[in-house]
Amino acid sequence: MSIHCQLLILILALTLDVQGHEAVPHSRPYMVLLEQYMQNGKTTHCGGFLLNEDFVMTAAHCQARSYTAWLGVHNVHNSNGVQRISVEQTFPHEDYNETNLNNDIMLLKLSSKAKFSAKVRPIALAGQDVVSLPKSCIVSGWGRTDNNIPYMSVVLMETSVTLIDSKQCPNTNLYCSKGETGPGKGDGGIPLVCEDGKAYGLVCYDFRPDSGGPEMKCYAKIPDYRSWIDSTIENALKGNIMFCLAS
Query: What digits encode the pLDDT tens for the residues 208-236?
Result: 887 777 889 999 999 999 999 999 999 99
Count of H helices and E strands in the chain? 2, 13
* Beta carbons of 96 and 200 less than 8 angstroms apart: no
Give Cβ neighbours of residue 59 (< 8 Å, ≥ 6 apart). Answer: 46, 104, 105, 106, 188, 189, 202, 203, 204, 220
Q: How far apart are CA 57 and CA 91, in angstroms?
A: 9
> What pLDDT, on the 0 to 100 scale, is given for residue 178?
86
> What pLDDT, on the 0 to 100 scale, is given for residue 12?
29
Q: How far is CA 206 from CA 71, 147, 149, in A?
A: 26, 13, 18
> What pLDDT, on the 0 to 100 scale, is given for residue 19?
60
- The mean pLDDT of the chain is 87
* pLDDT(240) > 70: no
* pLDDT(3) > 70: no
Q: How far is CA 26 from CA 29, 80, 190, in A?
A: 5, 12, 15
Closest Cα partner for 158 from 56, 22, 4, 37? 22
> What pLDDT, on the 0 to 100 scale, is given for residue 209?
80
What's the burial of 213, exposed, middle or buried (CB within 10 Å: 0-12/13-18/19+)? exposed
- Amino acid code (one letter) for 194: C
The domain spans of the chain are 31-110, 137-224
- Mean pLDDT value across residues 171-198: 92
Residue 182: count of CB within 10 angstroms of its CB:
23
* pLDDT(4) > 50: no
Residue 7: count of CB within 10 angstroms of its CB:
10
Look at 172 and 34; give whichever has higher pLDDT: 34
Q: How confident is the model at residue 123 (pLDDT cuts 50, 70, 90)?
A: very high
> What pLDDT, on the 0 to 100 scale, is given for residue 147?
65
Look at 7 and 82; give whichever has higher pLDDT: 82
Look at 185 and 190; give whichever has higher pLDDT: 190
Q: 31-110 maps to which CATH number?
A: 2.40.10.10
Check for a shared fold between 31-110 and 137-224.
Answer: yes
For the stretch 25-71, pLDDT in tens is: 999 999 999 999 999 999 999 999 999 999 999 999 999 999 999 99
User: Measured between alpha carbons, how far apart are the two ends of the chain, in Å?
Assistant: 76
Q: Which class does domain 137-224 fall in? A: mainly beta
> What pLDDT, on the 0 to 100 scale, is given for residue 16?
32
Q: How confident is the model at residue 239 (pLDDT cuts 50, 70, 90)?
A: confident
What does the DSSP assignment read for 29-53? TTEEEEEEE-TTS-EEEEEEEE-SS
For the stretch 79-118, pLDDT in tens is: 999 999 999 999 999 999 999 999 999 999 999 999 999 9
* pLDDT(23) > 50: yes
